[in-house]
Amino acid sequence: ADGDPLGGCRVSPAGFHALTSQLMRLAGGRVVLALEGGYNLDSISLSMAACVRALLGDSPPLGGTAMACAKEAQPYHKQTIHAVRRHLSQFWSRLVDIDGFAVTSAPEV
């Protein structure tokens, strides 16, 4: 989360809201959130509150943007996302053919 010196992800509360909203659309509204801990209570509480706002259908928090850092994912991250989507699409058909992504064959497990 933005402000967490150990995580270094720099995702704003508005970014967490956007990610949660996207997950809800992808999963047909069936999303479970869990906190695994946190090193900066201010940043984790703001980010979790933003996630709850998304679950409730409320607007994103004021201030900040969903993508404060990069406008485009790095090639490594794109490759990783593509590989994860390809693997998980065998379990969740909604991951197939979203945003131009299509699985041509089931991955080997």
Q: Mean pLDDT over residues 16-32, rounded?
A: 92
Asked if pLDDT for residue 49 goes beyond 60, the answer is: yes
pLDDT value, residue 65: 59
Per residue in 72-103, pLDDT (tens digit) is 667 877 788 888 888 888 888 777 765 555 54
CA atoms within 13 A on the CB side of 27: 13
Asked if pLDDT for residue 58 goes beyond 90, the answer is: yes
CB 10: neighbour CB atoms within 10 A?
13
pTM: 0.61
User: Where is average pLDDT lowest: 10-14, 36-40, 48-52, 85-89?
Assistant: 36-40
Q: What is the CA radius of gyration of the chain?
A: 15
Q: Mean pLDDT over residues 15-40, rounded?
A: 88
In the predicted model, what is the mean pLDDT of the chain? 79
Cβ atoms 44, 9 nearer than 8 A: no
Strand partners, 98: 101
The SS3 call for residue 98 is: strand
CA torsion sign, 81 to 86 to 89 to 94?
positive
pLDDT value, residue 20: 94
Asked if pLDDT for residue 10 goes beyond 80, the answer is: no
